Chain A
């Protein structure tokens, strides 16, 4: 048995050493210092990985300051929720204007007229929904009609949880409206036929891409144009090809300064400069290189812009009367999508 005094001393020394180690670990972790946080959605990871160093270099050249830009990515709705709950974003770069509206309305950290503060509805880049098919397009998918045909497996995420999935849904709906001359009942049947062809509904856009590309499920993936190009870049042009439908929907992912956070952190100027930078020639070139459609194609490399096929665009504002209306009618509880799903289950 140990001498009792020594035992107690040893325990004491152990506790002190443990606490010191902890203090060391904690301080090593908090060395990050003053930082700048961009809260974004899932598919922009690669884009902002290229933009951030370019902006940091630009800022250093202009002001001499070295900055550290942090990024957080996730589902657009979940990210908006996190900012409302206090995630310290200086700027948000999300998938839908509705998500930034939610931050403005629920937390008051952004003025409600935020979308007028920057050109092009505060969207420095746009994108659209295209089809990714397996090499050679074995099911001969050319247009939205082909998605509703029996025997074609369509991969798309769940519109209840995914921003990208809502764009897919609205693009299909918009096509149906045009095809059936505005007949909503026929359009609904058409969209239902597409969802009947969906074997799984992932929770997010990237999840769907992985389901289609890595697990090999489905014949056609409804995807963001940038996701489709990225999948080809990651998995090889010998595996997939992009089919651009003649008509699709114009997606305008918006950006905004989170005024309350940026002011509190003393980052106001930096935040404004960061978003302005997105419209500048070097950033527009990076945007095109990362497969987003730049709002100033003249700044981007010709071969990057050439990849974007010409599409007849519908917009949420013109076809659906804005996101708030579309959200309520189609995706809210008891909305059209729920109805489609329910009939699907009782079929």
Chain B
């Protein structure tokens, strides 16, 4: 009897599972944990945002977008993103270009610096600008004398946003460009193309999907940033409040429907970004990873 039992156990064990595969139990437990976690901490809150926004019907939801302060917040958010994203696009291209194609002393320091905004709290990022440009700060008195407003005005908000969205484009492009090397550019240059033309016709087509991906992430964060912007905003209604700040204000004024209506707008922007990102990954996975070359 025990022989049979041993044989059965042995057979079962030997059955199908290669040693490199986890037991089904572990697999299901892991998947369930991940899905449950996502549902609990991501999907449920998102659903509540949508439910609360429409809790009193569609009319109050739409009315939230007629409020001049809300419209001003939307305009400001778009303006800030429209300034911060191109700035970081230019910076990201320059940084990844120099890191991938040249070698120079301090290269690793530059790479570390690019990652700094990821590790620094956004509140600190905001405070740094207050310390530099604020009335008691380094350049504050000089700026005040010349009537230049940076902190508690749009320029400060743009600066803070640029700071927190610094790494997105560069981080996306550096590995891509490093993998692609500089052979093609050298070929173009030896064939007599100008530097700018080489960039437009050789480099750019090679990195365009990765670039777009970085810009999308950068834009999503630029529109959604709260902490750093909150510190430098001054919270002047209708003037220096971005959408995330306006959401907080409305919530604090017990105006839940309007607060969640704007939150839905932000969530909608995030979902569109996510959709575009998924589409990019699906259609251009090879070029994003830099494994394959065009031509």
Contact = CB atoms under 8 A, between A and B. Distances in A.
Interface of A: 4, 7-8, 11, 18, 21-22, 25-26, 28-30, 32, 35, 37, 42, 45-46, 70-74, 82, 84-88, 106-107, 206-207, 210, 234-235
B197 interface: yes
Interface string B23-43: 000000000000000000000
A70 B135 contact: no
Contacts of A84: 135-136
B238 A70 contact: yes
B236 interface: yes
B161 to A, nearest CB: 15
11 contacts: A22-B83, A25-B75, A32-B239, A35-B239, A70-B239, A71-B236, A73-B249, A85-B130, A85-B135, A85-B151, A206-B252
Nearest to A21: B82
Contact of B236 (A28, A72, A206, A234): A72
Interface string B62-74: 0000000000100
Contact of B140 (A22, A26, A45, A85): A85
Contacts of B83: 22
Given A42-B252, A71-B237, A206-B252, A85 B137 contact: yes
B79 A25 contact: yes
Nearest to A231: B254
Contacts of B78: 25
Contact of B253 (A11, A37, A45): A45
Interface of B: 72, 75-76, 78-79, 82-83, 86, 130, 133-137, 140, 144, 149, 151-152, 154, 197, 200-201, 234-239, 249, 252-254
Nearest to A235: B254
Contacts of A4: 197, 200-201
B136 A29 contact: no
A88 B152 CA distance: 8
Given A42-B252, A72-B234, A73-B235, 20 more contacts: A4-B197, A8-B200, A11-B200, A25-B75, A25-B79, A25-B82, A29-B75, A29-B76, A32-B239, A37-B236, A45-B253, A46-B253, A70-B238, A72-B235, A73-B249, A84-B135, A85-B135, A86-B134, A87-B152, A88-B149
B136 A107 contact: yes
Interface centre among B75, B135, B197, B238 (most CB of A within 10 A): B135
A107 B253 CA distance: 31
Contacts of A37: 236
A86 to B, nearest CB: 4
A159 B252 CA distance: 19
B135 A28 contact: no
B142 to A, nearest CB: 12
Main secondary structure of the interface of A (DSSP, over half): helix
A25 B253 CA distance: 29
A82 B137 CA distance: 12
Contacts of B154: 29-30
Contacts of A7: 200-201
Contacts of B200: 4, 7-8, 11
B235 A74 contact: yes
A29 B77 CA distance: 11
Contact of A86 (B135, B249, B252): B135
Given A26-B79, A29-B75, A85-B151, A107 B236 contact: no
Nearest to A233: B254
A260 B140 CA distance: 15
Contacts of B236: 37, 70-72
B151 A86 contact: yes
A74 B245 CA distance: 12
B80 to A, nearest CB: 10
Interface centre among B78, B200, B237, B252 (most CB of A within 10 A): B252
A85 B137 CA distance: 8
A80 B239 CA distance: 19
Contacts of A74: 235
A11 B238 CA distance: 35
A110 to B, nearest CB: 13
A217 B126 CA distance: 33
Contacts of A29: 72, 75-76, 79, 154
Contacts of B197: 4, 8
Contacts of A26: 79
A206 B144 CA distance: 33
Nearest to B154: A29
Contacts of B234: 72, 82, 87-88
Instruction: List 10 A-B pairs, minimum CB-CB distance, nearest first.
Output: A85-B134, A86-B135, A87-B152, A234-B254, A87-B234, A72-B235, A72-B236, A25-B79, A85-B135, A206-B252
Nearest to B253: A45
Contacts of B79: 22, 25-26, 29
Contacts of A85: 130, 134-137, 140, 151-152
A86 B82 contact: no
A192 B280 CA distance: 59
Contacts of B134: 85-86
Contacts of B72: 29
B164 to A, nearest CB: 20
Nearest to A210: B252
